[in-house]
Structure 1
Amino acid sequence: MKNLFKQLIIAVFCLFSISASAQSRQQLKNDSVYTLIEKYFNERQAESIYDLAGEQFKKQLSLITFKYVADHELFPLGPIRQSSLISFVNNNLSTYKLSFDAGTLQLLVKLDKDDKLDYFLFKPDKEEAADKLKPVRTSNLLRTLTDKRVDTAARNYIQKGNTVGLSIGILRKGVTHIYNYGETADGNKTMPDADNLFEIGSITKTFTAALLAYYVNEGKVKLTDPITKYLPDSVAANTNLQNITLVMLSNHTSGLPQLPGNFENHSSDPYDPYKDYNKQHLFSYLKDCKPNGTPGETYAYSNLAVGLLGSILEQASGKPFEQMVKEIICQPLNMQSTVQHLTPALKPRMVTEYNESGKATPTWDFNILAACGSLKSTVNDMLIYAGANMTPDDSKLSKAFELAHQVTFDKDTKLGLGWHIIVVNSVDYYFHNGGTFGSSSFLAFNPEKKLAVIVLSNSAKSTDNLGVDLIKKLQ
């Protein structure tokens, strides 16, 4: 029974989350199911809640057991007095904060492909540290309307008790604005600047998508290539992999899970979970793995898929991931501070990072899955990157960006290669975010609006709401 309520897998690494302010169709489905859960919960109808579950859930938990847990552990909490959506992660996992007479809990809800409950998990509600009483230092001079709008949004984030530093980059109608708040390390009284490095987490996936598009244009690979074409014979022999293509790895429709099934077995450091997972472990998993559903039909965010794509591109190019990023993207754009591994010259500019509890935590080594989240960068470099994505030219890199922006999937979630396309105030934005144990990042842009928003934080607290709020205030 304890397994039912334990925290979901190993934490949700490198999150893709859509803010409540920019709802997806899938989130609306989750909310509709949650509304029924709350109704049945308050009516103490365990069987009705169980009827909302899918086949896999019911295989793991019988109705008798579910009723016992509901009657003896859940319903005694009293009715749900209040509820609110905390997060919507990977376009499938909703977390709600529930208030009972006995206290508060979080409820995690995920639906399967038939819109039936796949996860129904309760866990303790984490209380955030009290908000900071004094205004956090900032470089924002509050001279213009834009300055004031940015400050209003930023204060909602940086004044929280579990945030430390924040760098914001705005590219608006060709003009760059940079705002910094807080500290590079808690208590050091040193404000971040545009050249401080942060982990950008899953924004890395957009770089991987650009590399894929670049090599497609060069004729080295095809989006429709089956992944088995690039895997060792012993792995390619797995017939379950034969219908997965490169484009599916990039747009999260491969059917591969978020992380390999053997990931926990080879993750020995709880503070650096990816570092021990290597190519041998990856291929060992792929030899026998079976996709969740038919490849190409359903969106399911996967760090495994994009990490595997990076490994395939390394084989196709004969170059390590970091070298591809450097030669194809960073050098042409003069992005000198975007790296996978910190050089001695860059280390002093790397911020100290903090987990959700406000404790310092190390940066991550992504090993074989580097392409899903390993890059570190600065606001200056990310402004260059966003600008290059918004301003086409005749270069090979620009042509790769153009291909990466083309829609490849549009069922519930709209994607190009790597890029998610979200709607904010009826306007489409190319978007990605990132998160590790000690960082959170946000990048969104719209070429027609000539607006790009970049947010980098050295805290695990999500910057999604801040990023969306900035878009709303500035578009």
Structure 2
Amino acid sequence: MAARPHHRHEPRRKRALSARRKLTLVALVLSGLSSGPPPAAAEASSAQIAEAVERAYRPLLKEYDVPGLAVAVTRDGQSAVFTFGLADREVQRPVTRDTLFEIGSVSKTFTATLAAYARALGRLSLEDAPGRFLPSLRGSALDRVSLLELGTYTAGGLPLQFPDGVAEEAAMIAWFRDWQPSAPPGTQRRYSNPSLGLFGAAAAAALGGNFTDLMETRLFPKLGFRNTFIRIPEAEMDRYAWGYGKGDRPIRVNPGVLDAEAYGVKSSAADMIRFVEANLDPGRLDPPLRQAVEGTHVGYFRVGAMVQGLGWEQYPYPVSLERLQAGHAPAMTLEAQPAARLDPPQVPSGPTLFNKTGSTNGFGAYVAFVPDKRIGLVMLANRAVPIPARIAAAHAVLEVLAEAP
């Protein structure tokens, strides 16, 4: 657990806006108007969306003792951020649209985008073995695994986490060299931080740089981010929320091998909804990045009711709450599942929901979007809200986003 620095106490803030006033402001944001009264239909629709967010997420604070939440939604190119509770209980610092949360494994969607970007630039092929870029792995069992299989957790049995004794690079390389598959590559999906982490490390090597540097100086700026980091600068630390885990103690993520690639991003609701909008409308990005984002929407393996792509997991839309929750059941994370390779890879031919969950010991995140409906949602919390509850809240709001006039 990270040591907690001393903070000076902040002055008491003015009384929060009334719920009705907040809904009116959100209606203005969602209607896309900067001045003047919004049309009655647009205001009513926006208020309906705001009320749906309030109804879905407010109860989570009490039920799961969540200190704070940020929820962002987008519909037809207009977005809004809703904030609840506290980023730091000790100093009573409220959550804002720019509060930094650990997004856990949602980081994998950025890693996938960087790898797809390297592919768009011609620096790698998904059929390459990692040893092409990481010479220390040449001749190992992993040299018979493709980058595609690493990026879709189908390498043949890489585990969820590194063993406890693997805490630095030399031990990591030795462990990777000793690893032997428990199944032929491409036949089963076993969700794995080492698998996705190695995928990101190979992508960074293909681009000739350090992974964290490439993300912070290349990918994040290209996406228009203002408040997204792997290494949070000292000047931004006051915006970094404290997570809350067992015993309600404040906690932040510990360092680990390939942590940046697998679960190391810290971001704000404002930036994350920009990322969702980039996925909803990649055409506004520069050509290599557009190609990269579109590349993460391709499905490569069918795993039960879910299609696994690079970073994102896909479902035909509309999707029932039960089916979506089943796709995130513990067995999908903790156990190997049969995987059928899609040949050719699947470009969605109809409405598709893309989503990803993420957690660290003190934080929980969920992102979902439907390009055909031009809707999307981000939830960031400084407690690891149970995944079924995250999905149920998001599902309820997405239904309103899809149906509101």
Question: Which residue, out of 88, 99, 104, partners 1:196?
Answer: 99
Structure 2 counterpart of 1:446:
370
Instruction: Say whether residues 1:304 and 2:202 are aligned partners.
Output: no
Structure 1 counterpart of 2:54:
151
Equivalent position amino acid for 2:134 in 1: L
Q: Which has the larger radius of gyration?
A: 1
CA–CA distance in structure 1, aligned partners of residues 247 and 395 of structure 2:
24
CA–CA distance in structure 1, aligned partners of residues 133 and 160 of structure 2:
20
* Structure 1 residues 102-151: Cα deviation after superposition (integer angstroms, max 9, x where no partner): xxxxxxxxxxxxxxxxxxxxxxxxxxxxxxxxxxx788524511111111
Equivalent position amino acid for 1:236 in 2: R
Q: What is the deviation of 1:231? A: 3.0
**Structural mapping, 1:96-175, within 5 Å:** 141-143=22-24, 144-175=47-78
Instruction: Say whether residues 1:358 and 2:248 are aligned partners.
Output: yes
CA–CA distance in structure 2, aligned partners of residues 396 and 443 of structure 1:
23
CA–CA distance in structure 2, aligned partners of residues 265 and 139 of structure 1:
52
Q: What is the deviation of 1:364? A: 3.0
* Equivalent residues of 1:431, 1:443 under 8 A apart: yes
Instruction: Say whether residues 1:237 and 2:129 are aligned partners.
Output: no
**Structural mapping, 1:1-16, within 5 Å:** none
Q: What is the deviation of 1:407? A: 1.1
* Equivalent residues of 2:129, 2:143 under 8 A apart: yes
CA–CA distance in structure 1, aligned partners of residues 397 and 247 of structure 2:
25
Structure 2 counterpart of 1:218:
121
Question: Which residue, out of 406, 413, 417, partners 2:310?
Answer: 417
Q: Greater relative contact order: 1 or 2 (C-alpha under 8 angstroms, separation 6 or more)?
A: 2
Equivalent position amino acid for 2:303 in 1: K
Q: Secondary structure, in 3 states, of the residue corresponding to 2:214?
A: helix
Structure 2 counterpart of 1:69:
none
Structure 2 counterpart of 1:408:
300
* Structure 1 residues 78-118: Cα deviation after superposition (integer angstroms, max 9, x where no partner): xxxxxxxxxxxxxxxxxxxxxxxxxxxxxxxxxxxxxxxxx
Structure 2 counterpart of 1:82:
none
Q: What is the deviation of 1:395? A: 2.6
Structure 2 counterpart of 1:17:
none
Unaligned 5+ runs, structure 2: 1-15, 25-46, 320-350
Structure 2 counterpart of 1:474:
401
Equivalent position amino acid for 2:254 in 1: W
Q: What is the deviation of 1:256? A: 3.6
**Structural mapping, 1:286-435, within 5 Å:** 286-393=176-283, 394-412=286-304, 413-423=306-316, 425-426=318-319, 428-435=352-359
Q: Secondary structure, in 3 states, of the residue corresponding to 1:405?
A: coil
Instruction: Say whether residues 1:184 and 2:83 are aligned partners.
Output: no
Q: What is the deviation of 1:264? A: 1.1
Equivalent position amino acid for 1:457 in 2: A
* Equivalent residues of 1:352, 1:360 under 8 A apart: yes
Give the ranges of 4+ consecutive aligned residues of structure 1 lying more than 4 Å apart after TM superposition.
137-140
Q: What is the deviation of 1:374? A: 0.3
Q: What is the deviation of 1:373? A: 0.6
CA–CA distance in structure 1, aligned partners of residues 86 and 17 of structure 2:
9
* Structure 1 residues 283-322: Cα deviation after superposition (integer angstroms, max 9, x where no partner): 1111111123111111111111011112212322221112
Q: Secondary structure, in 3 states, of the residue corresponding to 1:287?
A: helix
TM-score norm. by structure 1 comes to 0.65
% same residue = 25
Structure 2 counterpart of 1:205:
108
Higher helix share: 2
Equivalent position amino acid for 1:415 in 2: Q
